[in-house]
Amino acid sequence: MLQPLSEHMEKIIRSQLARIERMKNEGDFVDYDALPKLVIGICGGDGIGPAITAEGERVLRFLLADDVAAGKVEFRNIDGLTIENRAACGKAIPDDVLAEIKACHVILKGPTTTPKAGDPWPNIESANVAMRKELDLFANVRPIKVPEKNIDWVFFRENTEGSYAVGSQGIHVTDDLAIDFCVTTTQGTERIIRLAFEYAKKTGRKRVTAVTKANIIKTTDGKFLNIFEKIAKEYPDIEHDDWFIDIMTAKLLDEKRRSDFSVLVLPNLYGDILTDEAAEIQGGVGTAGSANIGKRYAMFEAIHGSAPRMVEEGRAQYADPSSILRACVMLLEHIGKQKEAEKLEKALDICTLTERKVVITGRSTGATGAEFSDYVMETVAKLA
């Protein structure tokens, strides 16, 4: 029994050591202004994904019409991220689909289904996790803003390590014992923490908070926190502190304390949990977008799931595209289209928070996603 376990562990460790070497040799971030043409891939994903990403593409084409006409921006639709296709291939991302994705510079991606125990699908890895690893999208950035509650948070979630790094490679030692693995590297931790501090410096934010469970998970979380403290010394003008994940979930609900937080940096699992809670405070996971940033590629997505029940009940056309449109704001910012990003963000605030002339309920009692997107584009046009 111990020999197979030892071989499995050695394989995992060798793969992570190889990843460290790749991180040591990674280059600088892509300069989008230097590209002759920017290629934006549109991946529909599963469930309501194709419906909402279609609306995201429509709005992006509207805002980037001049660049598309001039041949500076190209959109490419990439199929094949459905659970049916992934299951048939036995891979989180089929090889041909991955090749299409890698031919793009940035990706707008719909939600994808990840099989769990009891599902009729094989135990394939999350497409999100696989894409983040394949494209080395190490930073998951999620902004949450509720002005009337004085909330303005930006979460920097490490995307390629932690408890998700080898999430499908755990071991069933016996019928009574199962073991999973958590990974923390110096290089992976340094780059996400430094990105958080650089963002705070660039945007004039005065506080960066680390969230771990370093008092209990002493080796991996302890390493994350130690590196955080080391890097924080390089930014003396920015206040820094750290909190444990359990109390932080409470403090985001504490009206006396939550407005103190600004930039938060976290290992993968904690970031996944905390950003969903934060999105619920903003108005639900359907209101939040997400950026996944690497040095060569970037992927933008809604943070909610694929909602297969809506498709089964024939309601996909009523899915709310707000989250994917928030992701479009982040995409536009990332490629240097700040003016367009600001217009879209302002229009979304008007359409979802103040004016609200078109309301989505997820059913025929409200607007379709297309009607809502039309409303957003009409509002953008009025801001011009």
**Domains annotated on the chain, with CATH:** 28-137+294-384 (3.40.718.10), 143-156+182-285 (3.40.50.2300)
Can you tell me the distance from the alpha carbon of 143 to that of 128, in angstroms, rounded to the nearest whole number?
A: 19
pLDDT in tens, 334-361: 999 999 999 999 999 999 888 999 999 9
Burial (CB < 10 A; 0-12, 13-18, 19+), residue 99, is exposed
Q: What is the pLDDT of residue 3?
A: 65
CA dist 230 → 312, 356, 367 (Å): 51, 46, 51
H-assigned helices in the chain? 2-24, 49-63, 65-69, 83-89, 95-102, 127-134, 186-203, 220-232, 245-251, 268-282, 308-312, 322-334, 338-349, 369-383
pLDDT in tens, 195-243: 999 999 999 999 999 999 999 999 999 999 999 999 999 999 999 999 9
Q: With cut-offs at 50, 70 and 90, classify the pLDDT of residue 93.
A: very high
Q: With cut-offs at 50, 70 and 90, classify the pLDDT of residue 2.
A: low
Q: With cut-offs at 50, 70 and 90, classify the pLDDT of residue 154.
A: very high
Q: Among 166-170, 215-219, 254-258, 371-375, where is mean pLDDT lowest?
A: 166-170
Q: Is the pLDDT of residue 4 over 70?
A: yes
Can you tell me the distance from the alpha carbon of 157 to that of 155, in angstroms, rounded to the nearest whole number?
A: 6
pLDDT in tens, 282-308: 877 767 788 999 999 999 998 788 998
Can you tell me the distance from the alpha carbon of 101 to that of 292, in angstroms, rounded to the nearest whole number?
A: 14
Q: With cut-offs at 50, 70 and 90, classify the pLDDT of residue 246.
A: very high
Q: Is the pLDDT of residue 41 over 90?
A: yes
Q: With cut-offs at 50, 70 and 90, classify the pLDDT of residue 121.
A: confident
Q: Is the pLDDT of residue 252 over 80?
A: yes
Question: Any idea which residue has 């529909």 for tokens?
Answer: 44
Q: Is the pLDDT of residue 116 over 80?
A: no
Beta bridge partners of 4: none
Q: What sign results for the dihedral spanned by CA atoms 109, 115, 119, 121?
A: positive
